[in-house]
Amino acid sequence: MNRRVRRKVTRKGKEKLILPSYPEIDSEIADLDNKQTVDWTSLPDDTVIQLFSCLNYRDRANFSSTCRTWRLLGLSSCLWTSFDLRAHKIDATMAGSLALRCENLQKLRFRGAESADAIILLLAKNLREISGDYCRKITDATLSAIAARHQALESLQLGPDFCERISSDAIKAIAICCHKLKKLRLSGIKDVSAEALNALSKHCPNLLDIGFIDCFNIDEMALGNVSSVRFLSVAGTSNMKWGAVSHQWHKLPNLIGLDVSRTDIGPVAVSRLMSSSQSLKVLCAFNCSVLEDDAGFTVSKYKGKLLLALFTDVVKEIASLFVDTTTKGENMLLDWRNLKIKNKSLDEIMMWLEWILSHNLLRIAESNQHGLDNFWLNQGAALLLSLMQSSQEDVQERAATGLATFVVIDDENASIDSGRAEEVMRRGGIRLLLNLAKSWREGLQSEAAKAIANLSVNANVAKAVAEEGGIDILAGLARSMNRLVAEEAAGGLWNLSVGEEHKGAIAEAGGVRALVDLIFKWSSGGDGVLERAAGALANLAADDRCSTEVALAGGVHALVMLARNCKFEGVQEQAARALANLAAHGDSNTNNSAVGQEAGALEALVQLTHSPHEGVRQEAAGALWNLSFDDRNREAIAAAGGVEALVALAQSCSNASPGLQERAAGALWGLSVSEANSIAIGQQGGVAPLIALARSDAEDVHETAAGALWNLAFNPGNALRIVEEGGVPALVHLCYASVSKMARFMAALALAYMFDGRMDECALPGSSSEGISKSVSLDGARRMALKNIEAFVQTFSDPQAFASAAASSAPAALVQVTERARIQEAGHLRCSGAEIGRFVAMLRNPSPTLKACAAFALLQFTIPGGRHALHHASLMQNAGASRALRTAAAAATAPLQAKIFARIVLRNLEHHSVESSL
């Protein structure tokens, strides 16, 4: 059951809903009714500002433009103290338009080098904090200019990706310009020289927090001169001389926290730092292989000092920082936040620890290394969930990203570790993530939605997300104007839509409309969001009711637009898959014909069969297969070059996946229903690749290849081509060896078509380049085919049931034969009048084997309950089948199978005659 809170409403009509009476509210409502309108501009200024503070930046700006009063209030400095511009590419023009609001800007988050260049133009002289990611292309010149323009800067963080173009020159510029700097964290610097570090020591007396993370070379001795540092991280940094470090850094008078995670530090250096430093309280050494490999290393001898590593009890270690150790919860970080008596020194340590833990756990999760299952299940998941409740927004985001990352074990196949995912669920992580997703902060929305999406690959977690109201939340986020938020929300709906039980809930929440709108909104420049939206729509379109919703929401046009215009293979694949699923409900809605009639749809799908990417080719062929069930689509596909394209695809996919082989053969099967297309397929060289596919090891490929060859064999010219290309042995092999009854059935029918006498004219001497040799070879092929057709029919014959049916006309005896002979899937086949007429004519063939085969086939097509049984019965009546069936049933020379099967078909025709008259 979906545990969604529904709004109570009054109902008009006979049903009455009695609501509780609240006089004070009733009077307000009466006043509103009398006035008819509400003057929102009459609200007190502080109330409006408070309301504005609950909105994101875009909405604040939009509301500010509604009237002069709100425009003035919208410029209030308290509303523009921080900017998160990561979802936008900020150029000079946009920076100029924002500059009016940046006079009191104190905190800024950005993404990318282009945005970094534009920051200089914001004129935010009071800026205190800058945080940037995707900084690979940021240069020394840009970073130096940022430092020169923002001399009040106290915190500068760039990462976690590598800042490859930043050198020690930029660090010197920062030191010279930003004397108030307290926190400096940079990732991936190639070289941090002594000159740069000495500049920091000289010009930045308040520098308390330094992070040179994932750097390649740091001058250890010079770093030991920055005496003001209290918290230092060199996590992931290579080429460290740990002997020099342990002799120098223990002299740092204020060093409280040191992070050496993901380095090659050994037990000797750790021991020396822990024992020699008077001020050091916390040393983080996560994922340090040299340290972890030393089985004899112990941390118990360093009283009052913490070592946090993969092999320690992190929660217990952190708990030892507290004076009051009576609290025994697993969430020590939450316990610290709830302390009534605050300790400034402890708060400082814990804030740093939160940041370090979130960063290192994410890095470990990204490495996806083996052997960490116990850590993640026993500690890692709980730590990430605790960090999600931090007061630091970047810690919350990184923890949510960590949850999204640590469950994934195979990116390519979207495989996750179910144990880890369910551990998150068991610890209440779903509710925490959904609460973050409801935050007005778009960065939190994006990362929380990503985590929900990844976790929802697990069916149990997906169920929990739905029960907690997650579908409504994700559908709402999919409407976000922030592309990153919308993209991750669409990914969540994509994964949830895999479950049949969630499709209807997504539609009810408005998810279908939101996904279609995303395609139009980000039709260019948003490959990630487009792939996720199309993928979710593809899953939803597999459901009949949701398929109709997708079409009504404009999904056909949106998906065809992607198939025609998008060049990204992921988007092409999902758009083609969605169109294939939309076209798969031909019996219940009009989407099949609607897709075919959409301008450019068929041409786009035909073109996609030439894609270099197998997944795109497979889904495009699948879409054309489904669309070919509609008569108009079938001819339009051929007119768009579909025959040539699909024959070429079949010729090229002998070594492809079974999925592509099945769909390539299936599309040719669908097109070959038309005799003109069937002839064209034969003339274009389609016979040989279909025979090759018939030899596949995959059961599904057997069926589609046999179906296509069955249709092709209806034409005598194609029948001869099948013989010439060695198709008889391939079909014979299917007849007795395929696991699929349906493939065996269609292979037998193809052989029956080929040797019912109509091919003989094409094979007369002189009609082929090989003349008599062809004719001679036909005799052997005919004997082989008839022998295996007979053997196939006999496998569905029970001698005892046949004897009983022959001796008695009781319906029970015929029912017993029918049940033994029934091929369930054959009820889905739809034959034309010409095909039915050919089987009726085959009842008069002098070959006993063909008589029995024809009667057996007609039995399959007329069994009551079959999808097209009534249609086939009508065609048989038109073809005068009753007389031929009676003759076959009474013929003294006819085989027993033919007689009994003919009697059953007559009974089926009587049944359908009565049914149609009702």
Supply the CATH number for residue 58's domain.
1.20.1280
pLDDT for 26 equals: 43
More confident of the two residues 474 and 318: 474
pLDDT for 560 equals: 97
Q: Which two tokens stand for residue 578?
A: 């969605």
32: pLDDT confidence band, cut at 50, 70 and 90? Answer: very low
The residue from 606, 639, 672 where one domain ends is: 639
Taking the CA atoms of residue 463, residue 464, residue 467 and residue 471 in that order, the dihedral angle to the nearest 10 degrees is -70
Let me know if residue 698 belongs to a domain. Answer: yes
41: pLDDT confidence band, cut at 50, 70 and 90? Answer: low
pLDDT for 626 equals: 96
Same domain, 626 and 646: no
Same domain, 646 and 787: yes
Let me know if residue 753 belongs to a domain. Answer: yes
339: pLDDT confidence band, cut at 50, 70 and 90? Answer: confident
The pLDDT of residue 140 is above 80: yes
Percent residues over pLDDT 70 in the chain: 89
Q: What angle do CA 475, 478, 482 make, to 5 degrees?
A: 150
Let me know if residue 722 belongs to a domain. Answer: yes
The residue from 597, 618, 639 where one domain ends is: 639
Residue recorded with tokens 């009974």 = 907
> DSSP assignment, residue 79?
G
Residue recorded with tokens 């689509």 = 633
* Euclidean distance between CA atoms 255 and 231, whole angstroms: 6
The pLDDT of residue 707 is above 90: yes
Same domain, 658 and 564: no
749: pLDDT confidence band, cut at 50, 70 and 90? Answer: very high
Residue 787 domain boundaries: 641-762+776-792
pLDDT for 40 equals: 62
More confident of the two residues 776 and 684: 684
**Strand bridging mode 183-187 / 231-233:** unpaired
More confident of the two residues 457 and 813: 457
Report H helices in 242-301. Answer: 242-248, 267-276, 289-292
CB atoms within 10 A of CB 123: 15
pLDDT for 738 equals: 94
pLDDT for 81 equals: 81
The pLDDT tens digits of the residues spanning 416-437 come to 999 999 999 999 999 999 999 9
* Euclidean distance between CA atoms 463 and 674, whole angstroms: 46
More confident of the two residues 186 and 765: 186
Let me know if residue 122 belongs to a domain. Answer: no
The predicted model gives 26-47 an average pLDDT of 56
Same domain, 667 and 783: yes
Residue recorded with tokens 């250890």 = 220
Let me know if residue 28 belongs to a domain. Answer: no
Tell me the pTM. 0.86
The predicted model gives 554-569 an average pLDDT of 96
pLDDT for 92 equals: 83
The pLDDT of residue 29 is above 60: no
188-204 burial, b if ≥16 CB within 10 A, otherwise e? bbeebbeebbbbbbebb
Same domain, 603 and 686: no
Same domain, 677 and 618: no
Reference 268, options 287, 239, 245; nearest CA is: 245
**Least confidently predicted of 334-348, 528-542, 698-712, 767-781:** 767-781
The predicted model gives 102-108 an average pLDDT of 87
More confident of the two residues 819 and 376: 376
685: pLDDT confidence band, cut at 50, 70 and 90? Answer: very high
Is residue 152 within 8 A of residue 128, CB to CB? The reply is yes
Same domain, 732 and 862: no
pLDDT for 914 equals: 72
The pLDDT of residue 205 is above 60: yes
Is residue 466 within 8 A of residue 472, CB to CB? The reply is no
The predicted model gives 569-574 an average pLDDT of 96
Contacts of 489 (CB under 8 A, 6+ apart): 445, 449, 474, 475, 476, 477, 478, 480
Same domain, 813 and 781: no
Taking the CA atoms of residue 852, residue 856, residue 861 and residue 863 in that order, the dihedral angle to the nearest 10 degrees is 130
Report the CATH number that the domain containing residue 631 is assigned in CATH.
1.25.10.10
Let me know if residue 376 belongs to a domain. Answer: no
* Euclidean distance between CA atoms 549 and 541, whole angstroms: 8
Is residue 849 within 8 A of residue 786, CB to CB? The reply is yes
Same domain, 780 and 674: yes
**Least confidently predicted of 90-94, 767-771, 794-798:** 767-771
The predicted model gives 321-343 an average pLDDT of 67
* Euclidean distance between CA atoms 575 and 582, whole angstroms: 11
The pLDDT tens digits of the residues spanning 582-613 come to 999 877 789 999 999 999 999 999 999 999 99
The pLDDT tens digits of the residues spanning 11-27 come to 333 333 333 333 433 44
The predicted model gives 112-130 an average pLDDT of 89
The pLDDT of residue 337 is above 90: no
pLDDT for 38 equals: 53
Contacts of 47 (CB under 8 A, 6+ apart): none
pLDDT for 524 equals: 82
Same domain, 613 and 651: no
The pLDDT of residue 887 is above 50: yes
pLDDT for 315 equals: 86
Q: What's the burial of 10, exposed, middle or buried (CB within 10 Å: 0-12/13-18/19+)?
A: exposed
Same domain, 685 and 756: yes
Same domain, 669 and 783: yes
Q: Which residues pair with 259 in a beta bridge?
A: 233, 284
**Least confidently predicted of 149-153, 286-290, 827-831:** 827-831
- Average pLDDT score over the chain: 88
768-800 burial, b if ≥16 CB within 10 A, otherwise e? eeeeeebbeebeebbebbbebbbebbeebbeee
The predicted model gives 79-89 an average pLDDT of 81
**Strand bridging mode 415-416 / 408-410:** antiparallel
How many domains would you assign to the chain?
4
The pLDDT tens digits of the residues spanning 221-256 come to 999 999 999 999 999 998 899 999 988 998 999 999
Contacts of 268 (CB under 8 A, 6+ apart): 242, 246
For 501-543, the DSSP string reads: HHHHHHHHTTHHHHHHHHHHHTSSS-HHHHHHHHHHHHHHHTS
Strand ranges in 126-169 using DSSP code E only, listed in sequence order: 129-133, 155-158
Is residue 857 within 8 A of residue 836, CB to CB? The reply is no
Is residue 104 within 8 A of residue 80, CB to CB? The reply is yes
Residue recorded with tokens 């020169």 = 148
Let me know if residue 832 belongs to a domain. Answer: yes
Let me know if residue 194 belongs to a domain. Answer: no
